[in-house]
């Protein structure tokens, strides 16, 4: 699981500055080894001497890897991704999801009202309609209140769906499925983008 991407060397002792992709960076400081994936896609384990979150920029972390003791050595790590095994992820409470688990899920729209047909077992209007696939998740900015948005790629383009309980009725990451009840007018609102 991707937790950071190395941006550049930091300092003159081999440390590197990395953009963090985890809400739980403090857990990284207790690790003795970590995996890195180079720009060619090859992954290897590397010893971790030290890790801390940048005080001035909490979205960045500083890694100091074993065997990396100079600016030149740190420069060779530019663009590398820092990974941890999926088994080492934090266990989230019910109703909370990792972005990586949501991306790629199929989104199905369930009808909001009652069926008009007398034979519900055969009613096509009761069958969920495939809306599209989640491509990304957008979050409100720092200090901004708001609901995250699912970027769903549909046959007609992009659709932004609020990740709210009254809209996303069921999320089953194991089945890679999200069932939604879209509010009236959402498709038209997104079509104007």
Predicted confidence (pLDDT) per residue in 79-116, tens digit: 999 999 888 888 888 888 888 889 999 999 987 655 45
Helix/strand/coil (H, E, C) string of 93-140?
Answer: CCCCCCHHHHCCCEEEECCCCCCCCCCHHHCHHHCCEEEEEEEEEECC
Q: Is the pLDDT of residue 24 over 90?
A: no
Query: Within 13 Å, how many C-alpha atoms sit on residue 149's CB side?
Result: 14
Task: Tell me the mean pLDDT in the region 158-177.
Answer: 93
108, 111, 116, 119: CA torsion to nearest 10: 40
Mean pLDDT computed over 131-150:
84
Please give the share of the chain, as a percent, with pLDDT higher than 70.
88
For the chain, what is the mean pLDDT?
87
Q: 120 falls in which pLDDT band (50, 70, 90)? A: low
176/173 Cα distance (integer angstroms): 5
Give pTM, 2 decimals. 0.62
pLDDT of 172 strictly over 80: yes
For residue 185, the model assigns a pLDDT of: 80
What's the pLDDT score for residue 191?
60
Q: For 42-52, what is the mean pLDDT?
A: 95
Do residues 80 and 37 touch, judged by C-beta distance below 8 A? yes
List of residues 6+ apart from 49 with CB closer than 8 A: 64, 65, 66
Residue 118: the pLDDT is 52
pLDDT of residue 121: 58
pLDDT at 67: 94
Question: What percentage of the chain reaches a pLDDT higher than 90?
Answer: 55
């Amino acid at each position: 699981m991707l937790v950071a991407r190395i941006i550049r060397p930091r300092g003159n002792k081999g440390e590197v500055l990395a953009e963090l992709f985890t809400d739980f960076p403090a857990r990284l400081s207790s690790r003795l080894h970590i995996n890195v994936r180079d720009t060619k896609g090859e992954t290897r384990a590397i010893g971790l001497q030290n890790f801390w979150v940048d005080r001035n920029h909490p979205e960045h972390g500083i890694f100091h890897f074993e065997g990396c003791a100079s600016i030149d050595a740190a420069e060779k790590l530019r663009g590398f991704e820092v990974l941890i095994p999926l088994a080492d992820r934090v266990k989230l409470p019910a109703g909370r999801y990792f972005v990586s688990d949501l991306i790629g899920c199929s989104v199905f729209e369930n009808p909001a009202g009652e069926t008009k047909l007398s034979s519900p077992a055969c009613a096509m209007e009761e069958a969920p309609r495939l809306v599209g696939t989640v491509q990304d998740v957008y979050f409100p900015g720092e200090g901004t209140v708001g609901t995250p948005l699912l970027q769903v790629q549909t046959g007609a383009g992009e659709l932004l769906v609020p990740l709210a309980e009254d809209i996303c009725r069921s999320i089953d990451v194991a089945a890679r499925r999200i069932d939604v009840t879209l509010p009236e007018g959402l498709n038209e609102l997104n079509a104007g983008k």
